[in-house]
Structure 1
C-alpha cells in the first residue's frame, strides 16, 4: 500500500508528488500518456509533427502515436480542446507565463473594483494566504522576469502611448503593463547572441536560446541535462525533482507512464465514502492493475477528472462535478507592421497588460505554421464577409474573421512583421459550461467525456470583457505603429481551462473544500487547474495551480500523516539544484 497515488503528471500532479515525496512519503504517479526521456532525439522543429491532433507527439492519446488513434472527446459545439497527454502535460507547449492571480478573485477582497469580478465564485481563502506558496513555486521553478526583444518593445511602446502605466510588482492592483514573469531561464553565454547552432550548445549557451518554438516543448540548450532546459515545463522541473527527492532527505516518487486510470476505488467507513486506491490500464499491453493508497490525488485535468469521477460512480449530490468549465474565452488580435518585429524569435510571450475585473492581454510570438493556423481560426467566417451579428466594429480594421486569399498571402509574406496579442477574459463560472458522460460508445477506458460550452451563450459579463479587451489590444497595436489590425474572433479553443472540480466558499456549488479535499469522499484530493475556484481574473493559470497544489500537499501531510506545515519555515530546493541530474532520470521509471 502506498502513502499517496497521484493521477496525472501534468501541470499540478508532479508538484504535489514532489512535495509529498520530499516529506518522505511513498508516492506513485500514474500518467496516461508517454514520458519523453530524450526530447532532443524524440521531438522536432516540424510544427505538424508536434501539434497534429491525430498523430503529433503532443496529442491527447497513447504513446503509440502512429498505430493508435487519439482518445476521443465529444464536443457538440465548434471547438477544439488544445490539451495533450504525457508527462509534463500541457506545460510542454505552454509559454511559461507565470503571473499571479488577481486579488479580486479571493475571499475577503475589499478593493473598489470588487463588484467587477465573479463575486459568486471566489476562492474560499484570502489572496495573502496564497502568497507564501506563490513565492515557494517561484523560487523552485524558478520564475524570473522574461527576456525580451523587438516584439516586446513594440508592445510596451503601444501600451505607453495608449496611456497605460507600468506595473513594477507581482501583484495586479490596477490597469497596467509589464514584462511577463515567466518560467523560462534567461539567456546566458552565447544564448540570445547568435543563431549559429554550433555555438548554442550547453554549457557555452545556457537558458533560452531565442529559438521561437516554445509551443513544441523545449529542446534548448542542446546537450543540457533535463533539469537545465530553458522552459520549466514540469517534465523539466518538478518531475526531475520528484524522482530525485531522496537526494535531499525525502523519498523518490515512482512514475508510471502509459497508465490510464479508469476508476477510483472507495470503501465505506463510519458512514463516509473513503478513497482507497485506483484501477488503471496499461495503454500498451491492455493489462489492468489496482493500487491502494492512504490518499488519492486527481490531477488528470479539467476534462478527465470529472470523467473519472463520474465513471467511478462517486457521490455528486449537488451536481457540480464537471460544471463551471471556464477557459478565458480567448480571442486573437494581430498587428501588421512595415518593419521588423522579431515575431518568430525568442520566448513566445514576454509582455502583458492586465485589466482588473476584465482580464488580460499578452503579446505572443509564433513560428510560421502556427501563425498560419491563428489566421484561420474564427467563429465569424471570412473576414469582411460575415460577422454573425456579434460585437461592434472596434479599433481593428473592418469586420472580424479569418483571413484568406491574397490578404492571407500578404500577411504571411513575412511573419517577422507581425505582433500577435492574445486576449484572456475573466470568464464567469457558469454551471451549464461543463463536462458530462457522452452517450457515444465508450472507449477502452470507459464512457468518454462530452465537453459542452459555446462562445455565443457565455454570460453577458464575459462577452463584454472580451469585447473590451479586444478593443484594448487593437488600440495598443495601433499606438505601436501597426498599419493593419486584424481580429480573429476565435471559436472556443481552450488553452487555459479551470474549475470543473472547483474549490469554493459554498458547498452548494463546489466540489472541494478550502483544502482541495472532496466534500463527499474522504482522502480524495484534486491537484490541478480543475481545483481552481474561478478564472483567476484572466491571468494564466499554471502558477496559481502549482501554488495551490503546494498548499494542498501541506494539508495532506498535516491531516493524514501527522506532519507540520513546512512551507513557511524552510527554503525550497530549486529545480536547478545539482542533485537533480539526467543520470537519475535514466532508469527512474517503472
Structure 2
C-alpha cells in the first residue's frame, strides 16, 4: 500500500500496517530532518520564517528553492509545515481527547450545545480503545508543571472551577495539559548547564522553552528518546524499524522530497477504484509511478483536497475541500507585576475546558514569538483605530494590538506575562474550503486556494468565540493580571481539520464511517481533514492519530483479510530497546 504524507496521521497508518507485515511505501513531499541536532537552532526566525525557515511549506532546499504557493483571498495566516513529521514538528504536543458531545449517540444534558448536524459516525465509547492505544504508544502524560501553570491554576480555583483528574471532558474544569512530551528525569529540569543536559545524564524534557523550533533535547539522545513526541520522534522510528520489533513486520520504505502529483484510478464496472500514484522527485525533477492495492491520503487539510482535485477524482456532492474548521482562535495577554516564568518549560501545560463551547490553552512563549502573537489583530491598533470592531468586555479598553510604549511595556519582561489562546468549538461551514487556484500553478499542478470567512461565521461559532474570550479574561484577572489585552486575532489557520470529513450523511461527507472515500474504492484519508467536526475545541492531533489507527484496522480487515488487531499493550517507542538499536544501526541515533 501507499501512504501520501508523513505528518500527524500518515506515519500512524504506515506503522500499524507495516507491523502486520504489509509492504508500505510512505511518500512525503517535504524534507526529512535526519540529524536535527546539527540542522536546527533555537532561533525563531530560522525555524518559522515562511520563506526560508526550516519549518516552512516547501522543498528541502530552503535557500535555493521558493516555498510552495497557497492562494489566500482573505487576510489570514496559514501556518503549516512540510516534511517528515509535518506540522507536529513545531506543535506543543498537546494530546487531548475530543469532547464526548461531538460523537454519535451522545445524550448529555448539553447535547444541543454542539454541532449536532456533523457528529462522528460512531460513539465515544467505541473510539476509546483507539485513544488509549495512541496514548500508550507516544506516550501521553500530564505535562511537567512550572510557575506559569501554578499561577493559571490559582486563577481557575478562585473562580470555583474544579480540577479534572482524568482525560475525559465532562464539565467545566481545569487540569494539567495531557501532552506527548517525555517527563524530565535525571538532571533535566534541574539545571541550565548545557554540559549537564546530555543524554543519558538527562532524559525527557529539559524545560528549554523552545518547543516551536522543534525538539533536539536532550542532546545525544537516540531519535526515539527525544522529549517531544512529534511523529518524526515517535511513529517514524517505529515505522522504519517495524521489522525489528514486530513479529512478521516489515520496515516502511520512507521517501522524502517525493511530492505526489496524481492519484491514479480506473473504472471497474460502476465503481471508481484507486490503483496507485505518481510522484515527483524534488531533487531531480523526475516522475515515478507506483501501483498499490490501497492508497491512503494524509497530506493535510490543504494538500489532500488539492491532490484529489488535481487528480480529477469524482466529487459528486461537491464536499471535497469543504467544511474547514479552525477553532476560530483568539488571544488574550495578561500583564502581571510578578514572576510567571512564561518563557520557561514546555510551551503549553495548563488548560481550562468548557464543554459545548471550547477550551482555554495557556501558552508560554520565548520573546520573538511573544512579539508576533501580541501584534496580530483584526481590531486595528489600541488607542489609534479599531477597524470598526474594537470589542469591549472584561479586558482593558477595546480589543486590538498594542504598539509604542504599551508594547514596550508588555515585552520588557516576557516572564511577567500570561497568555491564553481560545480554542472554539466552531461549526462545519461549507464556505470554508480548499479549492484550486485559477491564478497559479506550480510543478505539482494547480496551487491550492484556501478560502475562509473572515468573521462571517455561524451564529454559534461567534457566540462561542465571545464566550471563550470572556472566560479567558476572567481567569487572567483571578490569576493576578493587572492588565488584560484582547487581541481579536484574524484567521490564524492552524488547527485546521474537516476538509475531507467523515460522516453518516453522503450529502455532506467525503468519507464513510471506515475512513474510505465514498466515491473511490481503496482510497482512504488519514489526516486532520478526515475529522468530521471541530471535536469540541481540543487540539486535533491525538484524535487524528486515534482515527488513523482505526482506519488502519479497517484497511487491514477489509482489503488484506486480517482480524481486528488493536489491543492493550502497544509497543512504546520511547522504551523499546529494539527500536533504539535499529536506529543506531541505521545511523539515526
Would you call these one fold, judging by a TM-score over 0.5?
Answer: yes
**Aligned counterparts of 2:566 and 2:21: Cα–Cα separation in 1:** 15
Aligned to 2:18, what secondary structure does the other structure show?
helix
Structure 2 matches for 1:303-342, cutoff 5 A?
Answer: 303-342=302-341
Alignment deviations for residues 541-577 of structure 1 (CA, whole Å, 9 cap, x no partner)? 0000000000000010000000000113x52000111
Structure 2 matches for 1:219-298, cutoff 5 A?
Answer: 219-247=216-244, 248-249=246-247, 250-298=249-297
Is the CA contact (8 Å cut-off) linking 2:222 and 2:583 kept in structure 1?
no
Q: Using the TM superposition, give the Cα deviation of residue 14 of structure 1 relative to its aligned residue in structure 2, in angstroms.
A: 0.2
Matched, 1:162 2:164: no
Q: Using the TM superposition, give the Cα deviation of residue 509 of structure 1 relative to its aligned residue in structure 2, in angstroms.
A: 0.1
Alignment deviations for residues 128-148 of structure 1 (CA, whole Å, 9 cap, x no partner)? 111000000000000011101
Look up the match of 1:18: 15
Deviates more, 1:338-347 or 1:573-582: 573-582
Matched, 1:141 2:133: no
**Aligned counterparts of 1:541 and 1:381: Cα–Cα separation in 2:** 30
Is the CA contact (8 Å cut-off) linking 2:6 and 2:28 kept in structure 1?
yes
2:128 equivalent among 104, 128, 131: 131
Look up the match of 1:415: 414
Is the CA contact (8 Å cut-off) linking 1:384 and 1:400 kept in structure 2?
no
Alignment deviations for residues 314-339 of structure 1 (CA, whole Å, 9 cap, x no partner)? 00000000000101011111111111
Gapped regions of structure 1 (runs ≥ 5): none
Look up the match of 2:176: 179
Q: Using the TM superposition, give the Cα deviation of residue 586 of structure 1 relative to its aligned residue in structure 2, in angstroms.
A: 6.6
Look up the match of 1:356: 355
**Aligned counterparts of 1:152 and 1:65: Cα–Cα separation in 2:** 37
Look up the match of 2:448: 449
Aligned to 2:301, what secondary structure does the other structure show?
coil
Look up the match of 2:114: 117
Alignment deviations for residues 386-425 of structure 1 (CA, whole Å, 9 cap, x no partner)? 3334474111111111111111111111111111111000
Alignment deviations for residues 217-252 of structure 1 (CA, whole Å, 9 cap, x no partner)? 101000000000000000000000000111122110
Q: Using the TM superposition, give the Cα deviation of residue 505 of structure 1 relative to its aligned residue in structure 2, in angstroms.
A: 1.3
Aligned to 1:448, what secondary structure does the other structure show?
strand
Structure 2 matches for 1:402-441, cutoff 5 A?
Answer: 402-441=401-440
Q: Using the TM superposition, give the Cα deviation of residue 385 of structure 1 relative to its aligned residue in structure 2, in angstroms.
A: 2.9
Aligned residue pair count:
585
Aligned to 1:467, what secondary structure does the other structure show?
helix
Is the CA contact (8 Å cut-off) linking 1:401 and 1:487 kept in structure 2?
yes
Aligned to 2:277, what secondary structure does the other structure show?
strand
Is the CA contact (8 Å cut-off) linking 1:240 and 1:585 kept in structure 2?
no
Matched, 1:84 2:81: yes
**Aligned counterparts of 1:391 and 1:110: Cα–Cα separation in 2:** 39
Is the CA contact (8 Å cut-off) linking 2:390 and 2:399 kept in structure 1?
no
Look up the match of 1:542: 541
Deviates more, 1:570-579 or 1:310-319: 570-579
Look up the match of 1:346: 345
Aligned to 1:151, what secondary structure does the other structure show?
helix
Q: Using the TM superposition, give the Cα deviation of residue 163 of structure 1 relative to its aligned residue in structure 2, in angstroms.
A: 1.9
**Aligned counterparts of 1:386 and 1:424: Cα–Cα separation in 2:** 26
**Aligned counterparts of 2:344 and 2:412: Cα–Cα separation in 1:** 16
Could you say what the CA RMSD is over the residues aligned between the two structures, in angstroms? 1.2
Aligned to 1:424, what secondary structure does the other structure show?
strand
Q: Using the TM superposition, give the Cα deviation of residue 494 of structure 1 relative to its aligned residue in structure 2, in angstroms.
A: 1.6
Q: 1:565 to 1:583 in 2, by over 3 A?
A: closer
Is the CA contact (8 Å cut-off) linking 2:118 and 2:428 kept in structure 1?
yes
Q: Using the TM superposition, give the Cα deviation of residue 495 of structure 1 relative to its aligned residue in structure 2, in angstroms.
A: 1.7
Is the CA contact (8 Å cut-off) linking 2:29 and 2:82 kept in structure 1?
yes
**Aligned counterparts of 1:5 and 1:387: Cα–Cα separation in 2:** 50
**Aligned counterparts of 1:586 and 1:44: Cα–Cα separation in 2:** 26
Look up the match of 1:213: 210
Q: Using the TM superposition, give the Cα deviation of residue 262 of structure 1 relative to its aligned residue in structure 2, in angstroms.
A: 0.5
Look up the match of 1:571: 569
Aligned to 1:439, what secondary structure does the other structure show?
strand
**Aligned counterparts of 2:298 and 2:580: Cα–Cα separation in 1:** 25
Matched, 1:53 2:56: no
Look up the match of 1:555: 554
**Aligned counterparts of 2:569 and 2:241: Cα–Cα separation in 1:** 17
Aligned to 1:419, what secondary structure does the other structure show?
strand
Structure 2 matches for 1:419-498, cutoff 5 A?
Answer: 419-498=418-497
Q: 1:418 to 1:157 in 2, by over 3 A?
A: same
**Aligned counterparts of 1:171 and 1:391: Cα–Cα separation in 2:** 36
- TM-score scaled by length of structure 1: 0.98
Deviates more, 1:487-496 or 1:305-314: 487-496
Q: Using the TM superposition, give the Cα deviation of residue 284 of structure 1 relative to its aligned residue in structure 2, in angstroms.
A: 1.4
**Aligned counterparts of 2:561 and 2:453: Cα–Cα separation in 1:** 46
- TM-score scaled by length of structure 2: 0.98
Look up the match of 1:99: 96
Look up the match of 1:501: 500
Is the CA contact (8 Å cut-off) linking 1:202 and 1:221 kept in structure 2?
yes
Is the CA contact (8 Å cut-off) linking 2:241 and 2:582 kept in structure 1?
no
Structure 2 matches for 1:392-411, cutoff 5 A?
Answer: 392-411=391-410
**Aligned counterparts of 1:440 and 1:586: Cα–Cα separation in 2:** 48
**Aligned counterparts of 1:436 and 1:217: Cα–Cα separation in 2:** 30
Q: Using the TM superposition, give the Cα deviation of residue 587 of structure 1 relative to its aligned residue in structure 2, in angstroms.
A: 4.8
**Aligned counterparts of 2:184 and 2:288: Cα–Cα separation in 1:** 45
**Aligned counterparts of 1:27 and 1:197: Cα–Cα separation in 2:** 40
**Aligned counterparts of 2:11 and 2:284: Cα–Cα separation in 1:** 25
Matched, 1:8 2:1: no
Structure 2 matches for 1:386-397, cutoff 5 A?
Answer: 386-390=385-389, 392-397=391-396
Is the CA contact (8 Å cut-off) linking 2:85 and 2:232 kept in structure 1?
yes
